[in-house]
Structure 1
Amino acid sequence: MPRPTGNVRLKAARVAAGFNSQQDLADALTEHAKRMGIRGLSIGVRQVRRWESDNPPWPQPDCQRVLVHLLGQSMESLGFTPPWGSEGPTPDPTRRMLVTGGAAALGLAMGSQRAIAAPQPTTAGADFEAVTRSHRRLYWSVAPSTLHPAVLAHATLGCALLPETTDVTRRTVAAALAETYLLAGRIEFFDLSQPASAHDTLLLALQAAGEADDTLLGSAVIAHMAFIPGWAGEREGAQERMIAARTYARRAPASAEFLAWLDAVEAECETRCGNTRTALHLIGHAEDILRDGSEHPSPEWMDWFSRARLAAFKGNTELLAGHLPQAREALSAALEALSPGEEKQRTVVYGDLAAVEAASGNPEKACEYAGLALDQLAITWYATGMDRVREVRRSLTAHQHERCVRDLDDRLYDWSTTLSALSR
């Protein structure tokens, strides 16, 4: 007698739940998603057929939630195997160990309905969250190469805690875990220039946000993921992720600052793709949102955006659009409005002001701003800020024999700066 093939666990769960055909299950999942408040999720029979194949793909977060809720079993019990760590480059062995180990635990924890032999106390959620909050503050002052391993190790702890918690404690741990992975992804993308690693880490953040059922945090993660194709000039990919980010944001009470930030993210992606007119329209819309305000407060974890940051976004777009006087005005206003603790953003603004002056034919002023950026980078490293300074230096090629440019080269290529840049 031939042995059954395919994902027999899912087939058995389907039949046991009363769904005799794959089409019946597909229809039930689509309808159940609506009842769970997951709008726009449509599951077809072709997708169910893939899930019941010999090598079923790991479903997307929303599909996982509906499958587990409808069939009453964990993803592993339904025959799915988490693919964490099987693809994509990792920057070093330490990151591979931390990310794949934590991700495997996260995959096991998500959707698990098994009884807990020795559950964690209710204080575990607040304790884990407290460390996440501390890492959030430390990001603005601690060297990224130093903070990054600690953040990933904390994520690994969260993955281990998650299956040992229930109810409110579980949601607290999951939300803090999502924020932790989000921070790790931000460091990888903005500070360490590792977009491939950032994508994998942000995907884990999205998984954890789904476990916490925190749609606003999910929106923030997806918007950060839009930066990756956006900065690479892949407009279609960035647009698709921004549509998803806005969809998630509509499911929660979003503050004016959060909605304005979504506009700013999309504007930066459009700018990187050469669509400065569209970007300026988005920034104008963000300014209107901030002016009108909102009754909803911003989440505590959203510490990367402000009116000053929006002005910096605007100045960069105006710079690339060739609107130099307007760019100078916006960037100067942003620099004045930045508060203590925003030193990383300060390096970016200095770099953009240097670029404005270089484009205006003022090499001495450009070198002065670039020098200020290097002063700050010596204290607080930020790969995005250094990229701005390098772009300015390339734009000064026609003036490379002038004293101010040579002095800038001495700063840009001294022992400390060169070693820091090459080591990262």
Structure 2
Amino acid sequence: MPRPTGNVRLKAARVATGFNSQQDLADALSEHAKRLGIRGLSIGVRQVRRWESDNPPWPQPDCQRVLVHLLGQSMEALGFTPPWGTDGSKPDPVQRTPVAPGAVPHRLPVAAARPASAFQPTTVGSDFHTVTRSHRRLYWSVEPSGLHPAVEAHARLGCALLPETAEPTRSVLAAALAETYLLAGRIEFFDLREPSLAHETLLQALQAAGEADDSLLGSAIIAHMAFIPGWAGDREAARERMTAARTYARRTPTSAEFLAWLDAVEAECETRCGHTRTALHLIGHAEDILRDGNEHSSPEWMDWFSPARLAAFKGNTQLLAGHLPQARASLLAALEALAPGEEKQRTVVYGDMAAVEAASGNPEEACSYAAQALDQLALTWYATGMDRVREVRRALAPHEHERCVRSLDDRLYDWSTTVSALNR
């Protein structure tokens, strides 16, 4: 007799609860989410099929809550293994408890409790976060291909430590772990150009943020996930993720800077999808938010946005919309306002300024800005900045026999730049 395959625990729980098909369970989970007050959660049969596969992915926090509450068992009892591992003990089923409509059920521990002697000291959360903070600062100056393995190793350590902690240390550690995964995902997407890998990493970041019950961090992670379909031209998927990001942001006090950044992210996605008018409207709204302000401060980990960055967003959108004088003014303002330590963003702005001049028929000025971008890239590598320079060179094809363009080619294709670019 053939041995059952796939996640037999979840399948057994499904059948035992009266759901004979995967579609039945998917429909029941989506309906149950509404009764629990979890809005906008729709679970399809494809997702249930993945959960019942040989290697089921660890569900997102809201999906976990609905699964546990509907089927009456813990995630481990349903055949799921958290990304940070378990202690190897056999989990006990979790009894269902009534939850009032609109309420959120209590989060369940990822692993069964360990003996007191196995628990980490209360300082482990702050100690782990200290390294996370250092990695965050190093991102702006250290070679990304060198920093990424260290960040990954730190994340693995956090996954190993998480089952060995109790509250409130556990929440501190989980939040720092989410920040670490977010940084790794940023490197993978913006620096290493690995969107598929970034998606998986950011999903792990979201799961860790769910363990910390940190809605604002969750919002930031989901907004970063919106970049992935946005840059690929999938407007519907990007907008859906931005809706989720804004929903999470509404659950907690949020600074004007963070709200403006959400507008900027959506604007960049709209720009990449060819909807520059919508993008410019979003950027205008972001400028209004920053001008009006509010009483809430931005989180320490939000070090990737400022009014200067918004001006750079605006200039890029105006460039792609064909509003060249306005783009030039916005980008020059961004260059003037960028602070020390924002060298990666400076390469992008130089690249966009070069693109403005190329589109305006000024090849010498375009080559000058592109050369400044290459000067900065030699000090601080940024794949997004190099992409901008390559786009400019393609735009300069009608002028490729001019001396300034040939000089740019000598810079763009020297030994170190060529080997570095092809290596990445």
TM over 0.5: yes
Alignment of 1:364-375 (within 5 A): 364-375=364-375
- Alpha carbons of 1:64 and 1:357: their partners in 2 closer, same or farther (altered >3 Å)? same
Query: Under a length normalisation based on structure 1, what TM-score does the superposition of the two structures give?
Result: 0.85
Decide whether aligned partners of structure 1 residues 326 and 115 sit closer, same or farther in structure 2, where only a CA change above 3 A counts: same
Corresponding position of 1:328: 328
Q: Supply the RMSD in Å over aligned alpha carbons.
A: 3.1
CA distance in 2 between partners of 1:302 and 1:371 (Å): 30
Match of 2:112 in 1: 114
Q: Which residue of 2 aligns with 1:173?
A: 173
Residues 34, 154 of structure 1: alpha-carbon distance in 2 compared, 3 angstrom cutoff? farther
1:344-355 correspondence to structure 2 within 5 Å: 344-355=344-355
Q: Is the 8 A contact 1:106 1:162 kept in 2?
A: no
d(CA) in 2 for partners of 1:215, 1:199: 19
Q: 1:51 to 1:142 in 2, by over 3 A?
A: closer
Matched, 1:421 2:421: yes
Q: Superposed, which structure 2 residues align to 1:127-142 within 5 Å?
A: 127-142=127-142
CA deviation map 1:66-98 (0-9, x unaligned): 44467775311223356xxxxxxxxxxxxxxxx
Deviation at 1:288, TM superposition (A): 0.7
Does residue 1:105 correspond to 2:85, yes or no? yes
C-alpha deviation, 1:53, in angstroms: 6.2
What is the rounded CA distance, in whole Å, between the counterparts of 2:221 and 2:411 in structure 1? Answer: 36
Give CA-to-partner distance per residue, 1:125-164, whole Å, 9 cap, x none.
0000100000000000100011000000000000000000
1:231 corresponds in structure 2 to 231
Take 2:49 and 2:409, find their aligned partners in 1: how far apart are those partners?
57
Separation in structure 2 between the aligned mates of residue 414 and residue 322 of structure 1, nearest angstrom = 32
For 2:170 and 2:250, the matched residues in 1 are separated by 24
Offset at 1:47?
9.7
Report the CA distance between 1:244 and its aligned residue: 1.1
Number of the residue aligned with 1:281: 281
Give the direction of change, closer, same or farther, for the CA distance of 1:332–1:55 in structure 2 (3 Å limit).
same
CA distance in 2, matches of 1:48, 1:340: 45
- Offset at 1:48? 11
Letter in structure 2 aligned against 1:112: V
Contact 1:324-1:356 at 8 Å conserved across structures: yes
Deviation at 1:307, TM superposition (A): 0.3
Identity of aligned residues (%): 76
Distance 1:322 1:48 in 2: 42
- 1:87 is matched with which residue? none
Q: 5 Å matches for 1:174-253?
A: 174-253=174-253
Q: Residue 108 of structure 1: CA displacement?
A: 8.7
Q: Which residue of 2 aligns with 1:269?
A: 269
Q: Give how far 1:348 is off.
A: 0.2
AA at the equivalent of 1:406: R
SS at match of 2:168: helix
Code of the residue aligned with 1:360 in structure 2: it is: S
1:40 deviates by 4.0
Q: Matched residues in 1 for 2:210 and 2:328: separation?
A: 42
Deviations 1:195-215, CA, capped at 9 Å, x for gaps: 111111111111111111111
User: What SS does the corresponding residue of 1:202 show, helix, strand or coil?
Assistant: helix
Residues 151 and 57 of structure 1: CA distance in aligned 2, closer, same or farther (over 3 Å): closer
Q: Deviations over 1:340-375 (max 9, x none)?
A: 000000000000000001111111111110010000
Letter in 2 for 1:124: V
Distance 1:167 1:394, change over 3 A: same
Contact 1:216 1:249 in 2 (8 A): yes
**Counterpart code for 1:162:** L
The separation in 2 between residues aligned to 1:373 and 1:6, in whole angstroms, is: 51
Check whether the contact 1:75–1:111 (CA below 8 A) recurs between aligned residues: no
Query: Quick check: which one's helix share is greater?
Result: 1
Letter of the 1:419 counterpart: V
Q: Aligned in 2, Cα 1:192/1:113: closer, same or farther, shift over 3 Å?
A: closer
Cα distance between partner residues in 2 of 1:123 and 1:311: 41
Q: Which moved more, 1:311-320 or 1:21-30?
A: 21-30
Question: What is the alpha-carbon distance in structure 1 between the residues aligned to residue 339 and residue 79 of structure 2?
Answer: 51
Give the conservation status (yes or no) of the 8 Å contact 1:51–1:57.
yes
Residues in 1 aligned to 2:111 and 2:87: alpha-carbon distance in whole angstroms: 13
Counterparts of 1:113 and 1:266, CA distance in 2: 37
| Residues 76 and 108 in structure 1, CA contact (< 8 A), matched pair in contact too | no
Offset of 1:39 from its aligned partner?
3.9
Other structure's SS at 1:105 match: coil
TM-score with structure 2 setting the length = 0.85
CA–CA separation in structure 2 for the residues paired with 1:108 and 1:243 = 38
Displacement of 1:52 in angstroms is: 9.6
The alpha-carbon distance between structure 1 residues 21 and 210, as it changes in their structure 2 partners (threshold 3 A), is same
Q: Structure 1 residues 312, 21: closer, same or farther in 2, change over 3 A?
A: same
C-alpha deviation, 1:7, in angstroms? 6.7
Q: How far is 1:295 from its partner?
A: 1.4
Q: 1:81 to 1:174 in 2, by over 3 A?
A: closer
Q: Is the 8 A contact 2:84 2:158 kept in 1?
A: no
Partners of 2:72 and 2:356 lie apart in 1 by: 59
Provide the C-alpha distance between the structure 2 equivalents of 1:366 and 1:250, rounded to a whole number of angstroms. Answer: 43
Match in the other structure for 2:101: none
Could you tell me which runs of 5 or more consecutive residues in structure 1 were left unpaired when the two chains were aligned. 83-102
> For 1:365-423, what per-residue CA distance to the aligned partner results, in whole angstroms no more than 9, with x for missing partners?
11110010000000000000000000001111111111111111111111111111111
Structure 1 residue 379 and structure 2 residue 379: aligned? yes
Gaps of 5+ in 2: 90-107
